[in-house]
Each structure stands twice: as structure tokens, then as C-alpha cells.
Amino acid sequence: DMPELNAVATELDVHPQTLRRRLAAEGTTFKDIKNQVRRDTALHFLGKQGLSIEEISHRAGFSESSAFIRAFKAWTGVTPYTYRKGL
């Protein structure tokens, strides 16, 4: 499971608003970082044989594979199936 902002702020021992402000100062948001981690996770596991798209979507933090497929297409311009075929 992907941690939420409040959980990360607690682990870092800062207030959630402080974390938001510091991320903004770096030119990013928690959502952006979360999406980057999801994308990188998906790309990593798409290179592994034997994992279904459903399993990859779950490992990337999506509850439904259809949401994962839409997000992946927005990130890369192709579906996970098409990306995998090109590897």
C-alpha cells in the first residue's frame, strides 16, 4: 500500500502542512511523487515475465486494473500491454 501524506509526515516528524510547503519549495507535490513511484514500479514489473497486468496494477498501488491502465497510458502514451510487447 502506498502511504498517505499524513503517514509520511508522521514518519518524518513534521506537520503535514510543513511537508506540503517543503515539497512546494522543491517544485513538486506529494501526489506527483506518489505518481512517479507508481509509474516506476509499473515499469519495473512490466519487465518481469510471469506477472499479470492485474498483479502489476496492485503492486503499483491501484485497486482496479482499469484505473492503472488509464494512468499508465497517461504517463507513457501507450497501454501496459503495448508497452510490454515492445520490450
Q: What's the first-to-final CA gap in the chain, in angstroms?
A: 27
Looking at residue 83, its amino acid is Y
Query: pLDDT by residue (tens digit) across 17-71?
Result: 999 999 999 999 999 999 999 999 999 999 988 899 999 999 999 999 999 999 9
Structural contact between residues 53 and 64, judged by C-beta atoms closer than 8 angstroms: no
Residue 79: band (very low, low, confident or very high) from pLDDT cuts 50, 70, 90? very high
Q: In the prediction, which pLDDT does 35 show? A: 94
pTM: 0.86
Burial label for 72, CB within 10 Å (0-12, 13-18, 19+), is: buried
> What average pLDDT does the segment 73-79 reach?
96
